[in-house]
Structure 1
Amino acid sequence: MAITYYKRFRMEIDLDGSLTPPVLLPPFTWTQWEESLVDQHAEVKYLSFRGEIDACVFPCLGDRHGCQRLMREIRRKPGFLSAATWLISSPDGFVGTVQGVMDRGPIGAIQNIGVVPEYRGKGLGQSLVRQALEGFYQAGLRRAYLEVTAENSAAVRLYRAVGFRRAKTLYKAVDG
């Protein structure tokens, strides 16, 4: 079996209170974290990542049950931060998700940002990132990071537009 290596960037941002607050225009609304919404987060994650490069890097993202297991694992992390975990609702249902945890440092770690394909290009990804960063800031954290697959140029551009800068280049080995 061949091994494929995917280039990933660790991107970081300082949280000094000067970030632009999240904006969400109608008909979209925020839905705060609630334990009862774990499956909805998993479903939006699955719909957002299936067929995308990240489902090759992390196969669980391309599998509905894998997303459910992943969401439950994120929820059980000791640093899970409900203030950095959100859904975006539309009249058609949930269309965006983000999860955040407090990592060692302490530093905020964005776990996943997903927007259902039909809703991309509407600024929802940027709003999710900013909402998670606001949650980290309100929790007293002053730095945050995320990791992104280098081939996902739209995501890299989005994170740079918010203010993230590449801190490190990593390689993820995946059995082919």
Structure 2
Amino acid sequence: MTKLLTDQDYLEGGMMLLFHQNNPVGVIRGADDEYENSPIMNIGPVAIIPEYQGLGLGRSLLRASLRLAKEKGYKRTILSVNGENERAQDLYIKEGFKQVEAVACYHYFL
């Protein structure tokens, strides 16, 4: 958490934590970035602990982050998601995001 708050791209107000009964159950972070030579807010990580998923909390955090981006004057945002995370992809599409790139990741066993 400290690293996310002290990174060079830290955006004031960009880190949002969601609590339930004084326990953190979700997080989203918006960071200052650039995409296609334009300033953007890069959203991520977005995470809700498993027992609280499916309750609309991720959607609420995402919308709060998008409101912040507008307040800060950004015209675009971007985020990345694991290609196997279909629930998250579905959320982002329903919220109006469009896929612009696909990335392949590889691993190597030592």
Q: Give the alignment's TM-score, normalised by structure 2.
A: 0.87
- 1:135 aligned to 46, 59, 68, which one? 68
Equivalent residues of 2:5, 2:15 under 8 A apart: no
Equivalent residues of 1:84, 1:133 under 8 A apart: no
The reply on whether 1:95 has 2:28 as its aligned counterpart is no
- 2:83 aligned to 137, 141, 150, which one? 150
Q: Give the alignment's TM-score, normalised by structure 1.
A: 0.56
Q: CA RMSD in A?
A: 1.4
The reply on whether 1:119 has 2:49 as its aligned counterpart is no
Structure 1 segments unaligned to the other structure (5+ residues): 1-70
The 3-state SS of whatever aligns with 2:19 is strand
Question: Relative CO higher for 1 or 2, CA cutoff 8 Å, sep ≥ 6?
Answer: 1
In the aligned structure 1, how far is the partner of 2:2 from the partner of 2:51? 26
Letter in 2 for 1:76: T
Structure 2 segments unaligned to the other structure (5+ residues): none
Q: Which residue of 2 aligns with 1:14?
A: none
Letter in 2 for 1:74: L
The structure where helix makes up a greater share of residues is 1
